[in-house]
Amino acid sequence: MPTLDARAQELLRAKNFCHVSTLREDGTILTVPVWVDTDGEHIVVNSAEGRSWPANLRRTGHATCTITNHEDPYEYVSATVAIAEDTHEGADETIDRLAKKYLDEDTYPFRKPGEQRVTFRLRPERLTHHGG
């Protein structure tokens, strides 16, 4: 299993977006930009229940995450990942931390009434670094 090297962790901790690509049931690919972080071992993303990409991720157990350096778009890390954790526990706190990182807001400002957040910790199975 590949590990997230220092540069990959830097890109994940910076204000870069992660494009999560999942496989739809009809065989086509869905790619969405999401906020991202790392715990040093996993790629950490968060979403609201009811969205398509988490359902696709759960169904297949895998996705591809591409994190592009916003300061140099020719540098990116691409990881084929598997679900290491899928949890609601702490998910509200995770989205608030991400809102602080990306928007400098203490709490996530786009939360809808009744929305349930979910955090995924994704384990890299293949990892490539381009550019930089």
pLDDT in tens, 55-87: 999 999 999 999 999 999 999 999 999 999 999
Q: What domain count does the chain have?
A: 1
Residues of the domain holding 118: 6-130
Of 7, 15, 124, 5, which Cα lies nearest the Cα of 75? 7
Averaged pLDDT of the chain: 97
Q: Which two tokens stand for residue 78?
A: 């691409």
In a domain, 49, yes or no: yes
Residue in the structure block whose two tokens are 């592009």: 68
In a domain, 86, yes or no: yes
Cα 95 from Cα 92, distance rounded (Å):
5
In a domain, 1, yes or no: no
In a domain, 36, yes or no: yes
Mean pLDDT of 29-37: 98
Cα 45 from Cα 71, distance rounded (Å):
21
Q: Has residue 33 got a pLDDT over 80?
A: yes
Cα 40 from Cα 105, distance rounded (Å):
24
Instruction: Specify the CATH number for the domain of residue 112.
Output: 2.30.110.10
In a domain, 40, yes or no: yes
In a domain, 109, yes or no: yes
The torsion angles phi and psi of 109, rounded to 5 degrees, stand at -80, -10
pLDDT band with cut points at 50, 70 and 90 for residue 132: confident
Of 55, 49, 50, which Cα lies nearest the Cα of 20? 55
pLDDT tens digits, 107-121: 999 999 999 999 999
Specify the pLDDT at position 7: 95
Specify the pLDDT at position 44: 98
Q: Which two tokens stand for residue 12?
A: 């994940």
